[in-house]
Amino acid sequence: MKIAIAQYACAPEAHVNLATAERHIAAAGAAGAVLVILPELHNTPYFCQIEDPARFDHAEAIPGPSTERLGAAAAAAGVVVVASLFERRAPGLYHNTAVVLDRDGTIAGRYRKMHIPDDPEYYEKYYFTPGDLGFTPIDTSIGRLGVMVCWDQWYPEGARLMALAGAELLIYPSAIGWDDATDDAEEQQRQLGAWQGVQRGHAIANGLPVAASNRVGIEGEADTQIRFWGHSFVYGCQGETLAQGGETGELVVADIDMHRSEQVRRIWPFLRDRRIDAFADLTRRYRD
């Protein structure tokens, strides 16, 4: 199965970003891809760098105008699209939501981001209510997709629960970068290596391919800027690198053998050997 990750910088205007997404979707379809993954919150610059009530105006309903446009692009290209939107569920209730649009343009399902960060320049708890749909894979015409979002990628529990529910591919739309004012070159490489390493671990531990998108470019005010590092990637089910982008805009394309998970799990039967009788403490915050 050929998949594509659209890695690009986001403009201030939503209509410009949607047009960019449409171009990448069309290009991916022309390249033979059947799945396209967009970056996290791709309709706008990453607005969570500050707390501002006016930025709730970026949110929209699902279904809504963006899913209509992206659904039409998916149908025209004959691809499944994983989009990432600021969902307005009700007045005062908003989610960071991934939407999966099937090859006919219909909404196959959605995932609401479960783990919400609250760190300098990533003030997401101000904007987003934690997801309430659980770690439930989304069935599509190309397979069962385990879609999560950005901060979720640091938690092995989410990847494992998606695997236990039958996900065939783990997907993480992301928006992650460096603060050049505080992160020197060595720290930047440590952060990038950790981001890649933890997700490679999800692939290996679950015997599943993993794909993560990211945006690129510098966003924010002069004193609060993030340089999004790109490096979108696809890992195979033994953690091997199938494709990886750089730090500029591009379409990252990879071929995935969707039958390899079955073979790898036969020689590395991690699911068989799990000691589920000894895992009750995983539901505790900490063991004092």
Query: Radius of gyration over alpha carbons of the chain, in Å?
Result: 18
Reported confidence tier of residue 288, pLDDT bands at 50, 70, 90: confident
d(CA 203, CA 159): 9
Q: What is the mean pLDDT of residues 108-137?
A: 97
The percent of the chain in helix, strand and coil, each rounded to the nearest 5, is 35, 30, 40
Contacts of 7 (CB under 8 A, 6+ apart): 39, 213, 214, 215, 216, 230, 232, 245, 249, 250, 251, 252
**Predicted confidence (pLDDT) at residue 112 exceeds the cutoff of 90:** yes
| Residue 183 contacts residue 191 (beta carbons within 8 Å) | yes
User: pLDDT at position 223, please?
Assistant: 74
Reported confidence tier of residue 215, pLDDT bands at 50, 70, 90: very high
List, in order of start, the domains of the chain with CATH numbers. 2-283 (3.60.110.10)
User: pLDDT at position 220, please?
Assistant: 87
d(CA 6, CA 77): 14
3-state secondary structure 1-59: CEEEEEECCCCCCHHHHHHHHHHHHHHHHHCCCCEEECCCCCCCCCHHHCCCHHHHHHC
- For the chain, the average pLDDT equals 97
Portion of the chain with pLDDT greater than 90, in percent: 96
- CB-CB neighbours of 42 under 10 Å: 25
Q: Which residues are known catalytic residues?
A: 40, 113, 150
Reported as a single tens digit per residue, the pLDDT across 34-88 is 999 999 999 999 999 999 999 999 999 999 999 999 999 999 999 999 999 999 9
d(CA 157, CA 196): 17
0.85 surpassed by pTM: yes
